[in-house]
Chain A
């Protein structure tokens, strides 16, 4: 089933992820997306059954389909007007392994990358870091 809306469960404690969320929300989309911090009470209450919650990017469709990790990144790209073609391209047989490694590398190093690009990422409430997440 083709999703009508997507819920993106992102890591609000990582500056890189917050930037990516901002970028995503500014793009023109075929499918509207709503963003929920994966550590929030709402996310835990509603999507607690998703085993990857908090570890990987998770995207959930309005039909309850769940994508996690690289598949979630690509599904988020798929929602965007300008990037839908690329979502098919990089999930094809030639580029998929590369894309997957790239996304995994970014995702698992997101804290160190955040530290590199933003010396002080946490202004305001959006990026308050619970100790456990550092």
Chain B
């Protein structure tokens, strides 16, 4: 295989990979911080740490994958060089997109887990005892519409 255009292909590829990864990581950390701020209200430091760790992982995976798929077998003509480059950038973008959505999903899960802890029971109580339970008061008898108790 002719390798005339391989060096320019590699150069462009490496530049684009680096630029894209940095750009995406920065976007991710900036916007992810908003999610994490909400989740880690009581310990903002922890939120920052989680954010930074996620970004480091993002860098590692993307740069690692980018480096792994860099090797091309040959590019004899300009057309071939463009094709090789397009293929590689496409693969890289797909991996970036995948990582990006994984990250979004992680943020979503973290946030949901913290929200679910605040939610009230799914079914309204069927009876109310007085605060100290001693004297009882079966008023407000509201069998729940979603799930009435079968007697």
Identify the A interface with B (CB < 8 A): 1-3, 30, 46-52, 56, 60-61, 63-71, 74-75, 78, 84-85, 87-88, 91-93, 96, 99-100, 104
A2-B118, A51-B138, A75-B121 known; A66 vs B149 contact (CB < 8 Å):
no
Q: Which residue of A lies closest to B116 (CB)?
A: A84
14 A-B Cβ contacts within 8 A? A2-B121, A47-B129, A49-B138, A50-B138, A60-B129, A61-B125, A64-B129, A64-B130, A66-B125, A66-B126, A66-B129, A67-B123, A75-B122, A84-B119
Chain A residues, Cβ within 8 Å of B146: 91-93, 96
Nearest CB of chain B from residue A111's CB, rounded to whole Å: 18
Chain B residues, Cβ within 8 Å of A71: 123, 125-126, 144, 147, 149
Of residues 121 through 142 on chain B, the ones whose CB sits less than 8 Å from some CB of chain A are 121-123, 125-131, 133-134, 136-138
Nearest CB of chain B from residue A48's CB, rounded to whole Å: 7
Chain A residues, Cβ within 8 Å of B126: 66-68, 71
Q: Which residue of B lies closest to A97 (CB)?
A: B147
Q: Which 6 A-B pairs have the closest CB atoms?
A: A49-B136, A65-B125, A64-B129, A66-B127, A91-B122, A69-B149
- Tell me if B121 and A87 are in contact (CB < 8 A): yes
- Main SS of the interface on chain B? loop
- Tell me if A48 and B136 are in contact (CB < 8 A): yes
Nearest CB of chain A from residue B61's CB, rounded to whole Å: 29
Chain B residues, Cβ within 8 Å of A61: 125
Chain A residues, Cβ within 8 Å of B128: 64-66
- Tell me if B129 and A69 are in contact (CB < 8 A): no
State in angstroms the CA–CA spacing of A96 and B143 once bound together: 14
State in angstroms the CA–CA spacing of A68 and B150 once bound together: 9
Chain A residues, Cβ within 8 Å of B116: 84-85
B120 within 8 A of A: yes
- Tell me if B129 and A75 are in contact (CB < 8 A): no
State in angstroms the CA–CA spacing of A46 and B117 once bound together: 29
Q: Name A50's contact: one of B127, B134, B144, B147 (CB within 8 Å).
A: B127
A49-B138, A96-B146, A96-B147 known; A64 vs B123 contact (CB < 8 Å):
no
